Amino acid sequence: MAMASLHNRADALDSVQDAMIQLVSRYANRDSAQWRPLFFRILQNKIVDLHRKRKVQSRFTGWLDFFSSTGNKDLRQDPIENAPAPDNVSPHQQHERHRELEMVQRSLAALPARQRQAFMLRCWDGMSTSETAHTMRCSEGSVKTHYSRAMHSLRAALGGDSNDQF
């Protein structure tokens, strides 16, 4: 969920770690059944905070990029992290897998935040409708609506059959 929203592995891992630390330090005495929804609520707050921080930072780095000789924002990315992993598949298969993954990531990123959150909590994290509603702080009907709209949008964007399931 963090990776799909933040598009940066290091930031995603930091957010998950911060959320876990906050969960343990503040909510360790709560019933263990409450931990999962609490964790995802904390994680979502960490993601929103990081988006806000990036927005403020982008105002300043935009000026730095304007004045830099290359103007290339990719200079801030870690080349080791972005290096392809060696495996025993052909270059064509690697390219196709990478292309499909990019399509899924773009489609997820294009969803409104609440639809993306409902989809990820329900589909990827396997939460029930009631757990998702508690985590998102909304009604179960709202979760069902957001999830349904996300599924329809993803099927349309990825060219899936209406009877397919994610």
Distance of CA 15 to the CA centre of its chain: 11
pLDDT in tens, the chain (166 residues): 888 888 889 999 999 999 999 999 999 899 888 888 889 899 989 988 888 887 766 655 554 444 444 444 444 555 445 555 555 667 777 788 888 878 888 888 899 999 999 988 888 778 889 989 988 999 999 999 999 999 999 888 887 654 544 4
Cβ atoms of residues 10 and 50 within 8 Å: no
- Please say whether the structural domain 93-161 has been given the CATH code 1.10.10.10: yes
Domain extent listing, the chain: 1-77, 93-161
Distance CA 133, CA 142 (A): 8
3-state secondary structure of 139: coil
